[in-house]
């Protein structure tokens, strides 16, 4: 009989897949006593996404429709895990979600979490989803594997594709990407160094650079100013979604969310 309290489900989001972090992530989890029971690469269609996020898609801090664009850019990696959970957690799912996943705002994700250790870039490009509790496992497993949990959870050796097992990660340079996208809009600006990532000092520097650039564009800057508030939707700036523009838009869109509580720069 399957002990559901020893099971957890994670999904590497398209930004994690394109940066090839799945193999590194599974190694990181293995060091913490978690091993994969099942693996699947799948496109997260709108129907799958509604089922996966059935209990969490309302009342969140992120725009549901804007977030959906991420899943049009590439597949996800679904991984069912097995392992023990420490005292103080109800189940392995509870442990992975509360202790290992990390805050959805990357700057608040601790180094000892998946998002903190593996380099999440913004609240949308945050690498992983994890099932919150055992109660959600069946529904989320069906959404990602098209099979019942009991069938998927049979312990077995999981053959991982070579592209997952052996391919080194390829990190996206956050601020170089942002600079390249917005330079045609605002000209050159003093963006942070990529090594700073989405840290609070880097975000403050980015906000100052963006605001200073827009001050120089009083006539052309209204639509650009609307990015930060969401008044200017992504589709009005970009005809066809692609990685660089979507990373840039979501980074600017959620600058203020990421800097809540931070001292002014």
The DSSP secondary-structure symbol of 231 reads S
**Domain total for the chain?**
2
| Model confidence pLDDT, tens digit, residues 251-261 | 999 999 999 97
Best CA proximity match to 27, nearest among 19, 18, 36: 36
**Alpha carbons 110 and 160: distance in angstroms, whole number:** 28
Q: Domain for residue 265, yes or no?
A: no
* Residue 264 within any structural domain of the chain: no
Average pLDDT over residues 60-65: 88
Q: Are 63 and 126 in a shared domain? A: yes
Q: How confident is the model at residue 156 (pLDDT cuts 50, 70, 90)?
A: low
Indicate if 215 and 154 belong to the same structural domain. no
Other beta carbons within 10 Å of 172: 16
The reply to whether 149 and 209 lie within a common domain is no
Task: Provide, for the chain, the percentages of residues in helix, strand and coil under a 3-state DSSP scheme, each rounded to the nearest 5.
Answer: 50, 10, 40
Q: DSSP secondary structure string, 235-265?
A: HHH-SS--HHHHHHHHHHHTHHHHTTTPPP-
Q: Which of 77, 85, 129, 151 is catalytic?
A: 129
Same domain? For 223 and 127 the reply is no
160 shares a domain with 233: no
Q: Which of 165, 183, 213 is the last residue of a domain?
A: 165
**Is residue 102 a part of any domain in this protein?**
yes
Residue 143 and residue 179: Cα distance in Å, rounded?
37
The answer to whether 154 and 34 are in contact (CB under 8 A) is no
Summarize the confidence of residues 51-59 as an average pLDDT: 78
Of 18, 24, 46, nearest to 125 by C-alpha is 18
Is residue 15 domain-shared with residue 120, that is, in the same domain? yes
Of 165, 200, 228, the residue that ends a domain is 165
CATH number, domain of 139, equals 3.30.70.141
Task: Tell me: do 187 and 219 sit in the same domain.
Answer: yes
Active site residue 129: yes
Alpha-carbon distance of 119 to 106, in angstroms, equals 8
Q: Name the least confident of 92-101, 127-136, 157-166, 218-227.
A: 157-166
Euclidean distance between the first and the last CA atom of the chain, given in angstroms as a whole number: 56
pTM attached to this predicted model: 0.94
What pLDDT sits at residue 150?
A: 76
Is the domain of 94 the same as that of 204? no
Are 161 and 192 contained in the same domain? no
Q: Is 184 helix (H, G, I), strand (E, B) or coil?
A: helix
Q: Give CA separation, 42 vs 68, 75, 162, 242, 262, in Å.
A: 15, 5, 16, 19, 38
Q: Rounded to 5 degrees, what angle do the CA atoms 220, 228, 65 make? A: 115
Cβ 17 vs Cβ 74: under 8 Å: yes
Name the pLDDT band for 155 (thresholds 50, 70, 90): low
Residues 73 and 21 in one domain: yes
List the one residue out of 28, 139, 140 whose CA is nearest residue 76: 140
Domain that holds residue 104: 4-165
Q: Are residues 146 and 224 in the same domain?
A: no
pLDDT score for 222: 82
pLDDT at 20 over 70: yes
Strands (E) in the chain, as ranges, are: 7-12, 35-42, 76-82, 128-130
- Identify the three-state secondary structure at position 46: helix
Same domain, 148 and 246: no
């Amino acid at each position: 009989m399957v002990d559901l309290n020893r099971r957890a489900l994670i999904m590497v989001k398209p930004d994690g897949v394109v940066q090839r972090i799945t193999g590194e992530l599974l190694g990181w989890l293995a060091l913490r006593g978690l091993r994969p029971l099942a693996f699947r690469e799948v496109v997260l269609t709108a129907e799958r996404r509604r089922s996966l996020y059935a209990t969490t898609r309302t009342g969140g801090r992120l725009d549901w429709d804007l977030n959906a664009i991420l899943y049009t850019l590439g597949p996800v990696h679904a991984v069912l895990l097995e392992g023990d959970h420490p005292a103080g957690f109800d189940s392995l799912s509870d442990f992975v979600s509360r202790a290992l996943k990390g805050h959805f705002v990357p700057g608040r994700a601790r180094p000892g979490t998946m998002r903190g250790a593996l380099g999440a870039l913004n609240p949308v490009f945050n690498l992983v989803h994890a099932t919150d509790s055992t109660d959600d496992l069946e529904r989320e497993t069906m959404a990602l594997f098209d099979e019942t949990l009991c069938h998927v959870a049979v312990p077995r050796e999981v053959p991982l594709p070579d592209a997952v097992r052996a391919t080194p990660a390829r990190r996206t340079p956050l601020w170089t990407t942002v600079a390249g996208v917005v330079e045609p809009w605002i000209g050159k600006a003093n963006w942070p160094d990529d090594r700073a990532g989405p840290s609070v000092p880097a975000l403050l520097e980015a906000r100052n650079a963006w605001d200073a650039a827009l001050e120089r564009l009083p006539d052309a800057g209204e639509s650009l100013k609307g990015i930060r508030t969401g008044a200017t939707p992504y589709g009005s700036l970009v005809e066809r979604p692609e990685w660089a523009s979507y990373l840039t838009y979501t980074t600017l869109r959620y600058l203020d969310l990421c800097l809540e509580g931070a001292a002014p720069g």
